């Protein structure tokens, strides 16, 4: 079994190889580690955050369609359910500025979005840029499921 120290030592070298091989800017490949997390030594956290694609002159209809897809197809069931239901409820009525903010939120990592939406800041601290976010505030309110509904993926006709 590889030790965490070996993995940590090799990550920068792998980053260099990836950058040289496929021309990835250094700012995209990030990792962090801690010598002591949850009272365990040598835990390694690999956080790869890919920079979002810059979309110029995207129509509001195309943006809404893309955000529907990105809300439904996250890869983590909990986040899929939460964001797809939120998008079905609010995406139609969002202003262009709110759509931009929601688009920016969707560029965050899935578990971070989930923990922020459920106000679990011990697991994933809320960054300064999201502390006054109206969209995140609305998502947090929505995530409480005050109606106590059984959560299911909304059908696509709910987005029309």
* Residue 91 sits in the same domain as residue 19: no
| Per-residue pLDDT tens over the stretch 23-69 | 555 555 554 444 444 555 455 556 667 788 888 889 999 999 999 99
Residues 68 and 36 in one domain: no
Q: Please, what's the b/e burial string for 81-98 (b: 16 or more CB within 10 A of its CB; e: otherwise)?
A: bbbbbbbbeebeebeeee
Q: Is residue 50 part of a domain?
A: no
**The pLDDT of residue 35:** 43
Co-location of 81 and 141 in the same domain:
yes
**9 is in which domain, residue-wise?**
4-45
Q: What CATH number is given to the structural domain containing 98? A: 1.10.150.250
Query: In whole numbers, what is the pLDDT of the chain averaged over residues?
Result: 78
């Amino acid at each position: 079994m590889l030790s965490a120290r070996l993995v940590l030592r090799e990550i920068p070298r792998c980053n260099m190889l990836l950058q040289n091989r496929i021309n990835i800017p250094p700012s995209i490949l990030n990792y962090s580690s801690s010598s002591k997390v949850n009272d365990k030594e040598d835990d390694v956290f690999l956080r790869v955050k890919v920079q979002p694609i810059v979309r110029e002159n995207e129509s509001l209809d195309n943006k809404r369609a893309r955000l529907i897809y990105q809300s439904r197809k996250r890869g983590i069931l909990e986040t899929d359910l939460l964001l797809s239901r939120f998008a079905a409820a609010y995406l139609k009525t969002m202003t262009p500025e709110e759509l931009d903010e929601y688009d920016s939120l969707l560029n965050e990592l899935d578990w971070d979005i989930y923990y922020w939406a459920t106000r679990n800041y011990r697991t994933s601290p809320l960054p300064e840029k999201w502390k006054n976010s109206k969209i995140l505030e609305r998502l947090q309110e929505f995530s409480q499921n005050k109606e106590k509904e059984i959560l299911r993926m909304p059908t696509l006709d709910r987005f029309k």
